[in-house]
């Protein structure tokens, strides 16, 4: 057979097999990597979504927690994984901030991953130990500004949601608090509950139960509007702290080179999961909501990641605190 005909036949075969591969997907279990510890707020979101996506895909999605290095260890593992749709990454806003926080990042964020879609955007809550003196958020602002050098703020480590929220809070109030980093959300919350630290800013998925139980004090949420879960809790913007309006968004990624048909199949499954009544109810109890279907797409997640990298770069550089 002439070379030209042979090459043509090979190209035609590859065009036929790629879609067929995608149509057969998935044929075995899928691993969803969460780059943080089990039981944390991102892990909670991942397990909710993985369960419903498993039912739709007909194959089990197993959540694997690979914590460490502010989420970059797990993300790095996924970046190096086979691009066949059987290794996913569910990561939060740290996917964007790591690009600046880590000056020697082991992967190029915008070149190492493909996209499935956004999942949810979780509001943050400014909280304190239950016997903290201020009675409301305006009083909190005044008190913190006057006593910044005497107060401690917990976070779950550099790059964690609580660390990012804390940076914004300190910048907004022009109050350089003494920060106390922990190895995870659990230990940080334990010390806040025990009164060993004064303040912590974290996701509603991690703070809602403690706020309801009255074991910590809540002052404000970072969402644009008050939350149905805590209707009496004001937004930071209501108190004039406009720069505290943000949330911790989550997205699902695949290694770069994953067939587009597979990413689309995963996106369709994600959209079905986020429309599931059980997921909507469970997320409402955590103070958040699933994103709409048009945000649970590869295109929407790519645009979000790019814009958030640009947003956080000057914030991190102004703080001058890096992870390496």
Claim to verify: residue 127 and residue 231 sit in the same structural domain: yes
CB 122 within 8 A of CB 204: yes
Q: What is the mean pLDDT of the chain?
A: 91
Q: What is the pLDDT of residue 158?
A: 80
Which has more confidence, 6 or 62? 62
Q: Is residue 298 part of a domain?
A: yes
CA dihedral 11, 14, 19, 21 (to 10 degrees): 180
**Total structural domains in the chain?**
2
Q: What is the pLDDT of residue 46?
A: 97
Boundary of a domain, candidates 189, 224, 244: 244
CA dihedral 290, 293, 295, 298 (to 10 degrees): 120
Claim to verify: residue 153 and residue 240 sit in the same structural domain: yes
Q: Mean pLDDT across the stretch 146-168? A: 90
Claim to verify: residue 116 and residue 257 sit in the same structural domain: yes
Claim to verify: residue 152 and residue 227 sit in the same structural domain: yes
Claim to verify: residue 256 and residue 116 sit in the same structural domain: yes
Claim to verify: residue 128 and residue 189 sit in the same structural domain: yes
Q: What is the pLDDT of residue 8?
A: 52
Claim to verify: residue 165 and residue 219 sit in the same structural domain: yes
Helical residues (DSSP H) of the chain, grouped into ranges: 3-24, 41-57, 72-79, 94-101, 109-112, 137-146, 161-173, 185-193, 204-213, 260-275, 277-285, 298-319
Per mean pLDDT, which of 96-105, 109-118, 161-170, 230-239 is the most reliable?
109-118
Claim to verify: residue 98 and residue 129 sit in the same structural domain: no
Boundary of a domain, candidates 189, 216, 244: 244
Residue 17: band (very low, low, confident or very high) from pLDDT cuts 50, 70, 90: very low
Claim to verify: residue 275 and residue 240 sit in the same structural domain: no
Q: Is residue 146 part of a domain?
A: yes
Claim to verify: residue 231 and residue 261 sit in the same structural domain: no
Residues whose CB falls within 8 Å of the CB of residue 130, separated by 6 or more in sequence, listed in order: 195, 214, 215, 216, 217
At residue 79, what are phi and psi to the nearest 5 degrees?
-60, -30
Tell which residue, 248, 307, 255, 297, has the closest CA to residue 94. 248
Q: Any idea what the Cα angle at residue 126 is, between residues 281 and 117, rounded to 5°?
A: 45
Q: Mean pLDDT across the stretch 86-113? A: 95
Residues whose CB falls within 8 Å of the CB of residue 27, separated by 6 or more in sequence, listed in order: 59
Residues of the chain above pLDDT 70, percent: 93
Residues whose CB falls within 8 Å of the CB of residue 171, separated by 6 or more in sequence, listed in order: 243, 315, 318, 319
Q: Which domain holds residue 56?
A: 27-122+248-319
Query: Counting beta carbons within 10 angstroms of the beta carbon of residue 315, is it exposed (0 to 12), middle (13 to 18) or buried (19 or more)?
Result: middle
Which has more confidence, 207 or 5? 207
User: Across the chain, which distance is largest between two alpha carbons, in Å?
Assistant: 85
Q: Is residue 73 part of a domain?
A: yes
Residue 4: band (very low, low, confident or very high) from pLDDT cuts 50, 70, 90: very low
Q: Is residue 204 part of a domain?
A: yes
Phi-psi region of 245 (alpha: psi -120 to 50; beta: other; left: phi over 0): beta
Q: Is the pLDDT of residue 307 over 80?
A: yes
pLDDT in tens, 244-286: 888 889 999 999 999 999 999 999 999 999 999 999 999 988 8
Claim to verify: residue 292 and residue 224 sit in the same structural domain: no
Q: What is the pLDDT of residue 239?
A: 81
Q: Is residue 12 part of a domain?
A: no
Q: Is the pLDDT of residue 14 over 50?
A: no
Q: Using a CB cutoff of 8 Å and minimum separation of 24, what contacts does 58-63 make? A: 58/26, 59/26, 59/27, 59/28, 59/29, 59/30, 60/29, 60/30, 61/29, 61/30, 61/31, 61/32, 61/88, 62/29, 62/30, 62/31, 62/32, 63/32, 63/34
Please tell me whether residue 18 adopts helix, strand or coil conformation: helix
DSSP of 96-131: HHHHHH-TT-SS-HHHHEEEEEEEEEEEEEEEEETT
Phi-psi region of 301 (alpha: psi -120 to 50; beta: other; left: phi over 0): alpha
Boundary of a domain, candidates 225, 244, 263: 244
- Distance CA(144)–CA(149), nearest Å, equals 9
Claim to verify: residue 101 and residue 148 sit in the same structural domain: no
CB 204 within 8 A of CB 125: yes
Q: What is the pLDDT of residue 258?
A: 98
Q: What is the pLDDT of residue 5?
A: 53
Which has more confidence, 312 or 127? 127
pLDDT in tens, 180-213: 999 888 899 999 999 999 999 998 888 989 999 9
Q: Is residue 75 part of a domain?
A: yes
Q: What is the pLDDT of residue 290?
A: 96
Please tell me whether residue 315 adopts helix, strand or coil conformation: helix
The pTM (predicted TM-score) of the whole model is: 0.82
Q: Mean pLDDT across the stretch 119-132? A: 95
Q: Is the pLDDT of residue 168 over 80?
A: yes
Which CATH number covers residue 68?
3.40.190.150
β-partners of residue 88 are 32
Q: Is residue 5 part of a domain?
A: no
Which CATH number covers residue 155?
3.40.190.10
Q: Is residue 144 part of a domain?
A: yes
């Amino acid at each position: 057979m002439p070379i030209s005909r042979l090459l043509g036949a090979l190209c035609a075969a590859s065009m036929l097999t790629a879609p067929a591969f995608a149509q057969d997907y998935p044929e075995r279990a899928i691993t969803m990597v969460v780059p943080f510890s089990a039981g944390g707020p991102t892990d909670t979101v991942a397990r909710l979504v993985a369960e419903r996506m498993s039912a739709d895909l007909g194959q089990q999605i197993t959540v694997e927690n690979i914590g460490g290095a502010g989420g970059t260890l797990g993300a790095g593992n996924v970046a190096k994984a086979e691009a066949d749709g059987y290794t996913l990454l569910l990561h939060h806003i740290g996917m964007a901030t790591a690009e600046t926080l880590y000056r020697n990042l082991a992967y190029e964020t915008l070149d190492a991953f493909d996209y499935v879609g956004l999942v949810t955007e979780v509001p943050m809550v400014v909280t304190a130990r239950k016997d903290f003196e201020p009675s409301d958020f305006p009083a909190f602002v005044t008190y913190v500004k006057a006593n910044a050098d005497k107060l401690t703020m917990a976070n779950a480590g550099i790059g964690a949601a609580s660390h990012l929220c804390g940076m914004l809070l300190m910048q907004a109030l022009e109050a350089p608090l003494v920060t106390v980093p922990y190895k995870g959300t659990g230990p940080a919350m334990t010390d806040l509950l025990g009164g060993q630290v004064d303040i912590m800013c974290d996701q509603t998925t991690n703070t809602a139960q403690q706020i309801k139980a009255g074991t910590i004090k809540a002052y404000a949420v970072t969402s644009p509007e008050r939350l149905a879960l805590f209707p009496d809790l004001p937004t930071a913007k209501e108190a004039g702290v406009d720069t505290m309006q943000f949330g911790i968004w989550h997205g699902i990624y695949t290694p770069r080179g994953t067939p587009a048909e597979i990413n689309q199949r995963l996106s369709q499954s994600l959209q079905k999961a986020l429309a599931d009544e059980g997921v909507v109810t469970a997320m409402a109890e955590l103070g958040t909501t699933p994103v709409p279907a048009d945000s649970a797409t590869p295109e929407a997640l790519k645009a979000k990641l790019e814009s958030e990298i640009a947003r956080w770069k000057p914030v991190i550089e102004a703080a001058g605190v890096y992870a390496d």
